[in-house]
Amino acid sequence: MTKHDVNGTSKSTIMVTGGSGLVGQAIKSVSEANPKDGETWIFLSSKDGDLRDRKETDAIFDKYKPTHVIHLAAKVGGLFANLKYKVEFYRENTLINDNIMENCRLHKVTKLVSMLSTCIFPDKTKYPIDETMLHDGPPHASNEGYAYAKRLIDTMNRAYAEEYGCNFTSIIPTNIYGPHDNFSIENGHVIPGLIHKCYKAKKDNTPFTIWGSGTPLRQFIYSLDLAELTVWVMRDYHSPDPITLSVDEDTEVPIKDVAYAVAKAMKFEGEVVFDTTKADGQFKKTACNKKLRGLRPDYKFTSMEEGVQKAVDWFLENYETARK
């Protein structure tokens, strides 16, 4: 098998870290829906070992001998956790990433794809943001521990390519939502939080209350679209420079539209209220997907309405076991 070939006749073992989460489960669905001859997929969860620990990470690589790695595992948390535990967010993510990258080098892994985030970009920037701006200034002070640990993945992808000829790269998604999300109202992201909140309002016959004015704009990517594009990056995108995986700029939507889409999908017919005593957060964080569109001009993203309906349906079907 050639260095860049994952479609060849040789056998490939693709190992996904953080395989039990939102994106990991979406990649599992995509890989099962489009199986390729000679490919074996391994989806790791925390039960398989502690990736912060070098010996445990070594043992995972020795056991599965991956030819390709999609690295999604990270220590993540909401605003308050990031503010309070900057040291832990920096150290634990740096340990995880170093253990994964060094094992990929030692085991001569053909391809490593790591996941970054738009929240690690400079706090003071112009919009739309693109891949070239990642290191143009400090991140927001609230999550600098996490952000610098993640930024170093990009730095080390280039360093491993230059020094060892490794084929390591990274992806930068915008706001992700879909099945297997964390639907916690306190700690979840926007869409899963709204879905759970709307469910409760319908059940309790109370107004569906959204914090803030609903005017901030966001780009949302459905988890199975991100999964398809991540697998494509693994197979066909061969540059250490990161690539933004995002819907187009003109599909950026106000939170208000998302809330109404959730209410419609949930068949909620009560009152929808925007609590303007609560802060709105950043007005926009637009990301440019020009690089992606240059390589995949015809890729069709799932619409917000269809994606929200699928996420709501999954939540209702899996209410008892969903993370919330």
- Among 86, 106, 100, which Cα is nearest to 53's? 100
Q: At what angle do helices 255-265 and 304-317 cross, to 10 degrees?
A: 50
Catalytic residue among 146, 160, 177, 199: 146
Question: CB neighbours (10 Å) of residue 189?
Answer: 18
38 backbone φψ class: left, alpha, beta (φ>0; ψ -120 to 50): left
Long-range contacts of 316-321, Cβ-Cβ distance < 8 Å, separation of 24 or more: 316/199, 318/179, 319/199
CA 28/CA 272 separation, integer angstroms = 36
On the CB side of 97, CA atoms within 13 Å amount to 28
Percent helix, strand and coil across the chain, each to the nearest 5: 45, 15, 40
Bridge partners (DSSP) listed for residue 172: 244
Cα angle 135, 288, 191; round to 5: 100
**CA proximity to 230, closest of 151, 132, 113, 129:** 113
Residue 90 annotated in active site: no
C-beta atoms surrounding 62 within 10 Å: 10
Query: Could you tell me which residues are beta bridge partners of residue 113?
Result: 70, 169
Round the CA-based radius of gyration of the chain to a whole number and report it. Answer: 20
Contacts of residue 205, defined as CB under 8 A and 6 or more positions apart, other chains included, come to 270
CA distance 135 to 128: 15
Q: Which positions are annotated as active-site residues?
A: 146
